Chain A
Amino acid sequence: MNQPFRTPSGGRIRRDRPLAFTFDGQPYTGCENDTLASALLANDVHLVARSFKYHRPRGIVAAGAEEPNALVTIDRGAGRITPNLRATQVALYDGLQAHSQNRWPSLRCDIGAMADRLSPLLSAGFYYKTFMWPPALWQRLYEPAIRAAAGLGRAPFAADADRYLHHFAHCEVLVIGGGPAGLAAALAASAHGARVILCDEQEEIGGSLLAETEATIDGKPAAAWLDATLATLGARGAVTLLPRTTAFGCFPDNFIGLAQRVTEHLAAPDPGLPRERLWQVRAAAVVLAAGAIERPLVFPHNDRPGIMLADAARVYLQRYGVKAGGRVVVATTDDSAYRAALALHQAGVTIAGIADARAAPGGAAVTAARDAGLPVFAGTTIAGTSGRLRLRDVLLSGRPAALPCDTLLLCGGWTPSVHLFSQSRGTLRFDAAIGAFVPAGAASGVQCAGACAGTFDLEACLDTGYAAGEAATRGHAAPRRFMVLGTLPRGTSGMQPNTAPHGKAFVDLQNDVTTKDLRIATREGFRSIEHVKRYTTAGMATDQGKTSNLNALAAVAGLLGQPVPAVGHTTFRMPYTPVTFGTLAGAARGELLEPVRQTPLHDWAASHGAVFEDVGAWKRARCFPRAAEDEPAAVARECRAVRNAVGLLDASTLGKIEVVGPDAAEFLDLLYTIDVASLTPGRCRYALLLGENGFVLDDGIVARLAADRFHVTTTTGGAARVLHHMEDYRQTEFSHLRVWLTSITEQWGVVAVQGPRARDVIAPLVEGIDVAAMPHMSVRACRVAGVAARLFRASFTGALGYEINLPAGFTRSVWDALCAAGAPFDITPYGTEAMHVLRAEKGFFMVGQETDGTVTPDDLGLAWMVSKSKRDFVGKRSLVLPDMVRVDRRQLVGLLTTDARVVLEVGAQLVATPQPGVPAAMLGHVTSAYWSETLQRSIALALVAGGRARLGSTLFVPLPDRVIPVTVTRPVFHDREGTRLHG
């Protein structure tokens, strides 16, 4: 096993199970239970990345989710390339291929490192100041160039080849974090059968216990206690243990998002498994046991490969059996670093010195280090470092000679992980003793335990965790005391001032933010920490300031001469660590992205060459081009068929609502503009639906089937909106009326038979009534081709027409019968485009085309449809407001282009003169424009200010390259007398 920095024994890795992997193509060997980071360190690979902005060589800093530097791309083949993964969270598997990022041509020799030399020009906000003129170059040159030079990994091009699932779960207690506090909480919470979910982001549940080799808990070594506890929890049926699962966001009312990595750690995953699973958990109570993150120290050149967090080095040693270096200097403000120094010393690593910023460090840990013969330099900080691709030596304050070393371990105290607590709307307070923010006021149902609450002692973590679990299930904390032996008490100095006047001292390693950037920001007047964050990018992006946040706050506080609590803290954004888009999308991709609604005639249309278009969620046939026919030709042919013989339209998507009850007529009278009460059974009426503001909401046909039963149609897109509107009034304002509403859109298929031969086609198929006796706008129950139907005589084309409503499942058989019966007349199926042209020829408006929520019935020329006799209906009062009766309102008119072949663009603006000045007064706009096959010319509908007073006048459509003159006409182009309709 050629892993020079692997210890001969100890740790949780399996030396008997070697795993081969590559990093930038170079082969290496690691062990089972390694992370990519621990395996690289075992092979003495510290240089793993180039920094975001300056391309500085960077090494592994941490051992967990807080890693700011070691971002890698993992390549599992096409469609399975993931950039920006933290090497510390990538489980090693056999054959793993990892690549470093943001470097060219190689990690050791990176052209982009020139940025480091130019860094005086590249400080905070440089691009706002440097690349200002000319503005046109910003989009084309500056931004692309800056983005190419700076950055993270490359987004993959191939479609994601993996599968992702969503899972919904409910529990009494969700415990986030599987360290000692979380385990104790789960033990307590599950003791009485409550449903408990325990999630932890690491490969193994255990948190700090996975690297605990000295302490005993209740008489057992920590590792044995961990095994026993997991066995106990696993045996409780109501407990769900989720390792490899990151709680990435806390949402209102204890709704938590968990991202579970199901197969990422496997060399050859079962193809039946999803790659990741999104858990959406609603918990009655949440126990946050998220732990704490060690803070680095800020001093000049504190970012060289070989500089890492002190406790991370201890974790690499005691959990992964890896020595972080051969000759180590430690710099600290906290006793915990002594524990790391002692452990490394015992593993045979040379401790060249411990620089403690405190004037007189003296706790038990310090004494133990001194007793072991480690040189402790009190009141000493780091003045500088050297070494390009790996740390070479360290300069201590007050000492002239640099101290040679290959590794520098830092500890600036510990920051409780309050990210999720803050997202749950808990408030924070600054604890000066530990120099960090800790939870103060919790949202209901949320508790913190252990290190994330500022409790670092193992025994106290277990005790408070257990109490939190008890409180979460039983509302009170029954005390239980764990007995922990073998730990050293810890002292800390709180926060040390950052003194880094010269050289690059990095505060945020991931975003390459230095103390100088913060100084510039405060000098330029930024005071709010949120503004400083955005100007300098400190604490932004994927990292969310895990290692940098407090150091940045402390630096800004120092620069502003304020205490840290006065500066405050920035908002903790979700996700805690990045979540893949695939996980969030789940199964909603491709065909499953959105539900598709198909009519009962969809298959027929598809097999007859239909070109489909989306109308809401519906697929509708736009036209049916025949061989060698383009779409305009097909539409023209379909229009000719309806005008000259007979056409057939699938109108099943029409919204339909059955309105039933003794007060149904009264209810509809209150909602629609027309007079419903006077409608006799068997008759129908075209009707407008208004909002209370008087503007047209929808239109349709109100058909009276019986005294207490109506069949009401809506537009295709308006069906749900209209039912919602009706329900609103039925349940609230008009709740005294006895009436019930039922959506019957899906229950009835609709076939429109339109054209002068329509009656000839359907009459032989209709049983039970005399079709010829049906007047325009009437409805009959009958049988059509043997199927019980509601037959409407109605027309949206201006031709003689019938709309046959059929039970959805029988629509196809009747359609087939109509095609057969119509064959002698060359019956022609037509699509929505021909329907649009035909209705525009008649000047029938379309909701959403001619209306936009600001159009009144009178604007559409439909004042005749508004009952004068009704005392009240929704919208009536608004119609007499002064602005609703102005004569210069935009009114619906027709437009005829001077050149009959020119078809206008929908949305084109209308002006009064051919060469208007700027700004030109816009008189209105084109709402519909088509080639009319019937009239052999272009037609258009438009809303024009005072339009009805402009009939016969000329307006102009200004376009970039020309001006089109148009004549204003009445909005009816075909059969103005309606003789065909009533024929």
Chain B
Amino acid sequence: MLLIRCPFCGARPENEFSPGGEAHIARPPDPSAVDDAAWTDFLYMRTNPKGAHAERWRHTHGCGRFFNCLRDTVSDKIVATYPVGQQRPDAE
């Protein structure tokens, strides 16, 4: 079980959290201005990288806050966690 550092509560066991998919995919401010291809990309296309992956987590059974997390998909190590709205920290 991973130990995940919630930016608001500190380190907690993985089973207090729920994953929320890839991070930094912003909803277009005016969806009606986006063409079909760009909209379906926003809906369905994800990067699935080998290595550092920015993803959303929620401390569901804790403070309830969403935050972002940089996880290495090869080693399953969490490199960093940071609040929503903050820049993605460098993987290395």
- The answer, yes or no, to whether B58 is at the interface (CB within 8 Å) is yes
Q: How far is the CA of A876 from the CA of B34 in the complex (A)?
A: 12
Contact, CB under 8 Å: B34 / A877: yes
Residues of B within 8 A of A727 (CB): 58, 64, 66
Contact, CB under 8 Å: A728 / B2: no
Question: Which stretch, A249-257, A326-334, A830-838, touches the partner chain B?
Answer: A249-257
Contact, CB under 8 Å: B40 / A724: no
Contact, CB under 8 Å: A255 / B39: no
Contact, CB under 8 Å: A731 / B65: yes
Count residues of A near B (Cβ-Cβ below 8 Å): 23
Contact, CB under 8 Å: B27 / A692: yes
Report the minimal beta-carbon distance from B77 to chain A, rounded to whole angstroms.
8
Q: 1/0 per residue A716-740: CB within 8 Å of B?
A: 0000000010011001110100000
Residues of A within 8 A of B58 (CB): 724, 727-728
A729 to B, closest residue via Cβ: B27
Asked if A882 meets B36 with Cβ closer than 8 Å, knowing A731-B66, A876-B31, the reply is: yes
- The answer, yes or no, to whether B51 is at the interface (CB within 8 Å) is no
- The answer, yes or no, to whether A921 is at the interface (CB within 8 Å) is no
Contact, CB under 8 Å: B32 / A872: yes
Q: How far is the CA of A884 from the CA of B68 in the complex (A)?
A: 32
Q: Which of A251, A252, A255 has the most CB of B within 10 A?
A: A252
- Of the residues B18, B39, B64, contact of A878 by C-beta under 8 Å: B39
- The answer, yes or no, to whether A58 is at the interface (CB within 8 Å) is no
Q: 1/0 per residue A246-286: CB within 8 Å of B?
A: 00000111110000000000000000000000000010000
Q: 1/0 per residue B21-44: CB within 8 Å of A?
A: 000001100111010100110010
Residues of B within 8 A of A876 (CB): 31-32
- The answer, yes or no, to whether A871 is at the interface (CB within 8 Å) is yes
- The answer, yes or no, to whether B60 is at the interface (CB within 8 Å) is yes
Complex interface residues of chain A between 854 and 906 (CB less than 8 A to chain B): 871-872, 876-878, 881-882
Residues of A within 8 A of B30 (CB): 872
Residues of B within 8 A of A692 (CB): 27, 43
Residues of A within 8 A of B66 (CB): 727-728, 731-732
Report the minimal beta-carbon distance from A180 to chain B, rounded to whole angstroms.
31
Residues of A within 8 A of B85 (CB): 735
Residues of B within 8 A of A882 (CB): 36
The secondary-structure label for the interface of chain A is: loop
- The answer, yes or no, to whether A693 is at the interface (CB within 8 Å) is yes
- The answer, yes or no, to whether B62 is at the interface (CB within 8 Å) is no
- Of the residues B32, B60, B65, contact of A724 by C-beta under 8 Å: B60
- The answer, yes or no, to whether B3 is at the interface (CB within 8 Å) is yes
A693 to B, closest residue via Cβ: B43
Contact, CB under 8 Å: B60 / A255: no
A727 to B, closest residue via Cβ: B64
Asked if A252 meets B34 with Cβ closer than 8 Å, knowing A732-B84, A878-B39, the reply is: no
Asked if A253 meets B43 with Cβ closer than 8 Å, knowing A282-B13, A732-B66, the reply is: no
Residues of A within 8 A of B27 (CB): 692, 733
- Of the residues B3, B13, B31, B77, contact of A877 by C-beta under 8 Å: B31
Q: How far is the CA of A441 from the CA of B2 in the complex (A)?
A: 20
- Of the residues B1, B31, B39, B65, contact of A872 by C-beta under 8 Å: B31
- Of the residues A251, A252, A728, A877, contact of B39 by C-beta under 8 Å: A877
Q: How far is the CA of A733 from the CA of B65 in the complex (A)?
A: 13
Contact, CB under 8 Å: A881 / B39: yes
Q: How far is the CA of A251 from the CA of B30 in the complex (A)?
A: 45
- The answer, yes or no, to whether A974 is at the interface (CB within 8 Å) is no
- The answer, yes or no, to whether A425 is at the interface (CB within 8 Å) is yes
Q: How far is the CA of A731 from the CA of B3 in the complex (A)?
A: 23
- The answer, yes or no, to whether B76 is at the interface (CB within 8 Å) is yes
Complex interface residues of chain A between 728 and 787 (CB less than 8 A to chain B): 728, 731-733, 735
- Of the residues A253, A732, A881, contact of B3 by C-beta under 8 Å: A253
Contact, CB under 8 Å: B84 / A731: yes
B66 to A, closest residue via Cβ: A731
Residues of B within 8 A of A282 (CB): 3, 13
Report the minimal beta-carbon distance from A886 to chain B, rounded to whole angstroms.
14
- The answer, yes or no, to whether B20 is at the interface (CB within 8 Å) is yes
Q: How far is the CA of A871 from the CA of B31 in the complex (A)?
A: 9
Q: How far is the CA of A425 from the CA of B56 in the complex (A)?
A: 25
Report the minimal beta-carbon distance from B68 to chain A, rounded to whole angstroms.
10
- The answer, yes or no, to whether B47 is at the interface (CB within 8 Å) is no
Complex interface residues of chain B between 42 and 86 (CB less than 8 A to chain A): 43, 56, 58, 60, 64-66, 75-77, 84-85
B78 to A, closest residue via Cβ: A253
Residues of A within 8 A of B40 (CB): 881
Q: How far is the CA of A425 from the CA of B34 in the complex (A)?
A: 45
Report the minimal beta-carbon distance from A236 to chain B, rounded to whole angstroms.
26
Asked if A252 meets B31 with Cβ closer than 8 Å, knowing A724-B58, A727-B66, A878-B43, the reply is: no
Complex interface residues of chain A between 61 and 92 (CB less than 8 A to chain B): none
B43 to A, closest residue via Cβ: A693
B33 to A, closest residue via Cβ: A877
- Of the residues A251, A731, A732, contact of B1 by C-beta under 8 Å: A251
Report the minimal beta-carbon distance from B63 to chain A, rounded to whole angstroms.
11
Q: How far is the CA of A731 from the CA of B57 in the complex (A)?
A: 12
Contact, CB under 8 Å: B1 / A253: yes
Report the minimal beta-carbon distance from A304 to chain B, rounded to whole angstroms.
45
Residues of A within 8 A of B3 (CB): 252-255, 282
Residues of A within 8 A of B39 (CB): 877-878, 881
- Of the residues B26, B32, B36, B75, contact of A881 by C-beta under 8 Å: B36
Q: 1/0 per residue A678-704: CB within 8 Å of B?
A: 000000000000001100000000000
Q: How far is the CA of A728 from the CA of B59 in the complex (A)?
A: 12
Report the minimal beta-carbon distance from A47 to chain B, rounded to whole angstroms.
44
Q: How far is the CA of A693 from the CA of B41 in the complex (A)?
A: 11
Q: Which of A727, A732, A733, A876 has the most CB of B within 10 A?
A: A732
Q: How far is the CA of A799 from the CA of B70 in the complex (A)?
A: 54
Contact, CB under 8 Å: B43 / A252: no
Known: A255-B13, A731-B65, A877-B34. 5 other contacts (CB 8 A): A253-B1, A253-B2, A728-B20, A735-B84, A876-B31
The 10 closest A-B pairs by CB, nearest first: A877-B31, A253-B3, A733-B27, A731-B66, A255-B1, A252-B2, A732-B84, A693-B43, A877-B39, A251-B1
Interface residues in chain A, defined as those with a beta carbon under 8 Å from any beta carbon in chain B: 251-255, 282, 425, 692-693, 724, 727-728, 731-733, 735, 871-872, 876-878, 881-882
A-B contact pairs, 24 of them (CB 8 A): A252-B1, A252-B2, A252-B3, A252-B76, A252-B77, A254-B3, A255-B1, A255-B3, A693-B43, A724-B58, A724-B60, A727-B66, A728-B20, A731-B66, A732-B66, A732-B84, A733-B26, A733-B27, A735-B84, A872-B30, A877-B32, A881-B36, A881-B39, A881-B40
